[in-house]
Amino acid sequence: MMNPQSSARRAVKSAAKARPNAFGDHLREWRQRRHLSQLDLAGDAEISARHLSFVETGRAAPSRDMVLRLAERLDVPLRERNVLLVAAGFAPAFPNRSLDDPALAAARQAVETVLKAHEPYPALAVDRHWNLVSANAMIAPFLTGVTPSLLAPPINVMRLSFHPQGIAPLTVNLAEWCAHLLERLHRQCEATADPVLIALYDELKTYPIPARKTPHLVGAENSLAVPFQMRMGDDVLSFISTTMVFGTPLDVTLSELALETFFPADDKTADKMRAMQPR
């Protein structure tokens, strides 16, 4: 059987080779990914469709302001906006600093404050590839029994959820929860065209996840969202999840950071989590 991670690496290399170099090719790719015609995009960006056509074919060179305006109208991620700028012959506009950079100290503190304040309920922060950045103390009880190789940095939260030696065996509604995660990851792949995310998506589909019996929630007429249900001892804990991101970030790394917070979906789960909170 092919190693999923080896397959993922090959997919990344293949995607990287297929990426365009010229600005016009990048622009056309993003426009088509957003299902816009040249006329639609030209109207949104307040330029003529003829000039946009010339830019896409390389007959006209865009200004720096035009590159940024087109990227904004296409909702291109900040990382890829830098790629567009470089392809057009300009310097990147958005810094791409590591999280331990002093300039991001306030953002790091904000993340840790939110994670800590969310206790006694679990919360974690992930990067653009779903690698764990930080977590509060309530995540640890959910990782008991996970094979050590999956907990070696970088810990990929998606892989941890799907892997048969991760938390998949303890997830009560595994089919529904993993289908929800796959749909979410698929939307991210469509939005970002990130080859690593695409490879991760392909890898996750190789794991033995049971088919979802119905597109609707399992017997949950009053549920507002797909719950995450996990067996812990004799109890089944049920959570609903929310995602938090930084508003209007200007740093690439910060724009790709997400906080996943879990709230109890019933009183039993809330009581159990309060009892588990470290004193």
- For residue 219, name the pLDDT band (cuts at 50, 70, 90): very low
Given 37, 59, 88, the domain boundary residue is 88
In a domain, 113, yes or no: yes
Cis peptide before 195 (omega within 30 of 0): no
In a domain, 170, yes or no: yes
278 secondary structure, DSSP code: -
Q: Are residues 111 and 84 in the same domain?
A: no
In a domain, 5, yes or no: no
Closest by CA position to 227, among listed 164, 174, 275 = 174
Instruction: Using the predicted structure, report yes or no on whether residue 240 has a pLDDT greater than 80.
Output: yes
Q: Are residues 121 and 241 in the same domain?
A: yes
In a domain, 97, yes or no: no
User: What's the pLDDT at 262?
Assistant: 97
If 0-12 CB within 10 Å is exposed, 13-18 middle and 19+ buried, where does residue 15 land? middle
Question: What value does the mean pLDDT take over residues 136-159?
Answer: 95
User: What's the pLDDT at 11?
Assistant: 44
Q: Are residues 141 and 272 in the same domain?
A: yes
Q: Which residues contact 247 (CB under 8 A, 6 or more apart)?
A: none
Total of domains in the chain: 2
Question: What value does the mean pLDDT take over residues 222-226?
Answer: 67
Range of the domain at 83: 22-88
Q: Are residues 122 and 250 in the same domain?
A: yes
Q: Which residues contact 219 (CB under 8 A, 6 or more apart)?
A: none
31-84, pLDDT tens digit by residue?
A: 999 999 999 999 999 999 999 999 999 999 999 999 999 999 999 999 999 999
Given 88, 110, 145, the domain boundary residue is 88
User: What's the pLDDT at 109?
Assistant: 97
In a domain, 1, yes or no: no
